[in-house]
Amino acid sequence: MKQLQTTLPGLLSAVQAADSGSFSAAAKVLDLTPAAVSKNVAALEALLQVRLFNRTTRQLSLTEEGRAFIAQTREGLSLLEAASQAATQGLKPQGLVRLNCAVGFGRRYVLPLLPAFYAQHPDVQVELSLNDQTVDLVKEGFDVGIRGGSQPPEGMVARKICTLESVLVATPRYLKARGTPRHYSDLAQHDLLRVKFLSGRLSPWLFKDKGKVVAFEGPAKLLISDPEVILDAALLHMGIARMGRHHAFDALQRGDLTEVLARQHDSGDASMAMFYPHRAGLAPRVRVLVDFLLSRLAQVTALQN
């Protein structure tokens, strides 16, 4: 126990330094001075007789030994936090959960579920952070992330929510006026509505052609940075758009949009997943939100391809 008492500050400092990328950034989170964080880590390394970090004047990086040690330590600290909360809260979920999510998915599918969640867990607060940029969930201190992809950040696990199948769509009015394309090469004669992310990357349009997947790079009539606003543009009869089927689902069901080139279009294999710390270390406030969202999202028809 005495050894734990002397090493706990070092463990906390080392994990936070690894997550934050520097002793200075870790010091702000831990409310310590950078010198104190450095001293704690150095004392831990001396006790272990292992170098955990490679240090330069500009960069801090984990050694191979440090990477393995921090991964196990993070799990242990999560268990300690969960045990502490269980002891002080009687396992009653309460407190703040920081949830990060892509903008369109969060607005359309996560936000509408929160009233029912609050009805079950009135003592839990949710901070819902919406953005479409790449986010380091661990470094930025989020408890849960709902993002595209399936590879979890270090220290987290992933649970697949749905496949993000994409479709090409246009309104019946647009297709009546301009004709329905029969081959992807016909798209060169159409008004195309495309997503251009803030990074400058264009979302590619892929097609199956004689056993190969080829990209079509026709000029866009309209470029929009928000994938969900593309739906609004398509519904204004402005042209042919590519979007996630989950975004277009309601409009397709109503007949407001028509899918085009379904057999030729490569819908991709992207997925949406929930990322969160290993279940063994989940605080009650995080566990109830994770379980609730996974259960309710599994019942959403638009997400079941």
Tokens for 251, please give them. Answer: 């409009």
Phi and psi torsions of 179, nearest 5°: 90, 150
- Which residue, of 37, 55, 78, is where some domain finishes? 78
Q: Edge-to-edge strand order for the sheet containing 124-130?
A: 124-130, 95-101, 144-148, 271-277, 156-163
Q: Are 53 and 17 in contact (CB under 8 A)?
A: yes
For 71, the domain range is: 2-78
Same domain, 154 and 171: no
Q: What is the CA radius of gyration of the chain?
A: 24
CA distance 114 to 20: 30
Same domain, 126 and 109: yes
Query: In this model, does residue 9 exceed pLDDT 90?
Result: no
Same domain, 106 and 250: no
The answer to whether residue 115 sits within a structural domain is yes
- The DSSP 8-state label assigned to residue 111 in this structure reads G
- Which residue, of 78, 108, 127, is where some domain finishes? 78
Listed in sequence order, the residues at least 6 apart from 146 whose beta carbon sits closer than 8 Å to its beta carbon are 99, 100, 101, 102, 105, 106, 110, 161, 272, 273, 274, 275, 293
Q: The domain spanning residue 105 has which CATH number? A: 3.40.190.10
Helices (H), the chain: 2-20, 23-30, 34-48, 64-89, 103-105, 114-120, 172-178, 229-235, 245-254, 284-297
Q: Band the pLDDT of 2: cuts 50, 70, 90.
A: very low
Same domain, 154 and 276: yes
pLDDT digits (tens, 9 = 90+) for 161-182: 888 888 999 999 999 999 999 9
The answer to whether residue 84 sits within a structural domain is no
The answer to whether residue 264 sits within a structural domain is no
Same domain, 154 and 295: yes
Q: The domain spanning residue 239 has which CATH number? A: 3.40.190.290
As for how many domains the chain has, the answer is 3
pLDDT digits (tens, 9 = 90+) for 205-260: 999 988 888 888 888 899 988 778 899 999 999 999 998 888 899 999 999 999 99
Same domain, 190 and 227: yes
Query: In this model, does residue 150 exceed pLDDT 70?
Result: no
Question: What pLDDT is stored for residue 118 in this prediction?
Answer: 95
